[in-house]
């Protein structure tokens, strides 16, 4: 596969795998036989932009024959290659079983290892296989092209399966967003660009849309498992009722506003959310740290001496910093820190699609528990628990 401008090798999506497997199976079905054993087998399909794309077929099998020995159903397998952006689906086998259908239409469904949609707000209706619209269109167009070229006036039934998909799905966001029993068949361009950040942000958007479709107007977001565990243990709020936003604080605000949320509350460890006090909206360490500097500046604003503020700069972690402060000092520093966090969250929300969306944050520590909330924290926590 060719490389992009950054020198990273592109791959192909599960949607392209399903399209190719279905095309190979339909070709064999229409031809009445599989390629001879041992022959190199490739299939050329057309990506959504119309570009032809050729990829290898792992294997094929005739599943069913008529009384005269002609194939009635064929299964073909294509291996997923994620290029230099490997994810949990890299290397999986996507199978498509194609059978003749007397009606002039193409039915597409998912079987073993392909998830089922159980919540509204996703790309497919509740009860449908988690095969997204673009992959469905890719399969549909390819099979229509093949049947018209062969003069077949009927249609096809297509069953897409991913062996091992149910187990692999446990390592994805699918169980959180209401897709059960397997992986999703995805892809909008057919090609995997090595851009994992985009994939994460796209997943955050899906989670937001699902929560809003459930009837929630205020959302609760946590950067990671620390926050999710704290929400569960402290307030009984389960992961399925929240948005996991990773480091993308700013993008989460933008997307929540864009899709009409009335409020958004971030719940996270102080070591993560302290960065918002400096206007850092991507909390990954490569974009900015400044944890101790932000605590020290809050200490100065709170009236602590330069010597006490400097002591914070010498700490390795925010937990260490909290422990060298007296209880009174800690409260004053946290009050100033929370006010700055409120300011920067509000600035980002004010520049977004829905300017009146309320934002807030809850900070916690492994030692001290809840450290405090920003101005609308209590209100957003209460509303975020409603449905």
Q: Domain limits of the chain? A: 11-192, 197-384
Query: Is residue 196 pLDDT above 80, yes or no?
Result: no
Burial call 125-142: b when 16+ CB within 10 Å, e when fewer = eeebbbbbebbbebbbbb
Q: How far apart are CA 330 and CA 64, in angstroms?
A: 73
Average model confidence (pLDDT) for the chain?
A: 92
pLDDT tens-digit map of 44-60: 999 999 999 999 999 99
Residue 354: pLDDT band with limits 50, 70, 90: low
Structure tokens at 18: 């399903």
Segment 51-73 shows an average pLDDT of 94
pLDDT for res 125: 93
Predicted pLDDT at 7: 57
Q: Are 83 and 1 in contact (CB under 8 A)?
A: yes
Bridge partners of 126, per DSSP, are none
Q: How far apart are CA 206 and CA 243, in angstroms?
A: 9
Say whether pLDDT at 274 is over 50.
yes
User: Higher confidence at residue 255 or residue 69?
Assistant: 255
Report DSSP letters for 318-348, one per residue. Answer: HHHHHHHS-HHHHHHHHHHHHHHHHHHHHHH
Q: Which residues contact 345 (CB under 8 A, 6 or more apart)?
A: 253, 266, 276, 359, 360, 361, 374
pTM above 0.85, yes or no: no
- Angle between helix axes 291-301 and 306-313 (nearest 10 degrees) is 170
Smallest CA-to-CA distance from 98 within 52, 34, 184 is with 34
pLDDT band for position 203 (cuts 50, 70, 90): confident
Q: Which has more pLDDT, 328 or 285?
A: 328
Q: Which fold has domain 11-192?
A: CbiD-like (3.30.2110)
- Asked whether 206 and 255 are in contact (CB, 8 A), the reply is no
pLDDT computed for residue 28 by the predictor: 96
What are residue 284's phi and psi, to 5 degrees? Answer: -65, 140
Say whether pLDDT at 19 is over 60. yes
Please report the pLDDT score of residue 1 as a whole number. 53
């Amino acid at each position: 596969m060719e490389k992009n401008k950054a020198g990273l090798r592109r791959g192909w999506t599960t949607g392209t795998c399903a399209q190719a497997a279905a095309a190979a199976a339909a070709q064999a079905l229409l031809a009445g036989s599989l390629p001879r054993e041992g022959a190199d087998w490739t299939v050329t399909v057309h990506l959504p932009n119309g570009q032809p794309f050729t990829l290898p077929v792992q294997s094929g099998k005739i599943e069913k024959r008529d009384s005269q020995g002609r194939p009635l159903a064929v299964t073909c397998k294509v291996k997923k290659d994620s290029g230099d952006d490997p994810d949990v689906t890299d290397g999986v086998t996507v199978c498509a079983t194609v059978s003749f259908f007397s009606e002039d239409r193409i039915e597409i469904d998912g079987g073993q290892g392909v998830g089922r949609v159980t919540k509204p707000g996703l790309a497919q209706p509740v009860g449908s296989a988690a095969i997204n619209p673009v992959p469905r269109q890719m399969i549909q167009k390819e099979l229509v092209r093949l049947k018209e070229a062969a003069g077949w006036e009927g249609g096809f039934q297509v069953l897409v399966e991913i062996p091992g998909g149910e187990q692999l799905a446990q390592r994805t966001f699918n169980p959180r967003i209401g897709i059960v029993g397997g992986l999703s068949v995805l892809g909008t361009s057919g090609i995997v660009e090595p851009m994992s950040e985009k994939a994460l942000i796209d997943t955050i958007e899906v989670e937001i849309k699902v929560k809003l479709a459930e009837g929630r107007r205020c959302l609760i977001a946590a950067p990671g498992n620390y926050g999710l565990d704290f929400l569960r243990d402290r307030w009984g709020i389960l992961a399925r009722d929240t948005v996991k936003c990773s480091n993308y604080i700013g993008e989460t605000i933008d997307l929540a506003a864009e899709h009409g949320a009335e409020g958004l509350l971030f719940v996270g460890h102080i070591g993560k959310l302290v960065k918002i006090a400096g206007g850092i909206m991507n909390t990954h360490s490569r974009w900015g740290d400044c944890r101790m500097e932000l605590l020290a500046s809050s200490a100065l604003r709170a009236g602590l001496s330069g010597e006490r503020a400097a002591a914070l700069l010498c700490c390795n972690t925010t937990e260490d910093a909290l422990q060298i402060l007296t209880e009174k000092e800690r409260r004053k520093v946290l009050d100033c820190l929370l006010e700055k966090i409120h300011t920067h969250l509000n600035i980002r929300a004010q520049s977004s699609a829905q300017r009146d969306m309320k934002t807030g944050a809850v900070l916690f520590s492994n030692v001290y528990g809840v450290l405090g909330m920003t101005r609308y924290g209590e209100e957003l926590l209460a509303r975020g628990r409603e449905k």
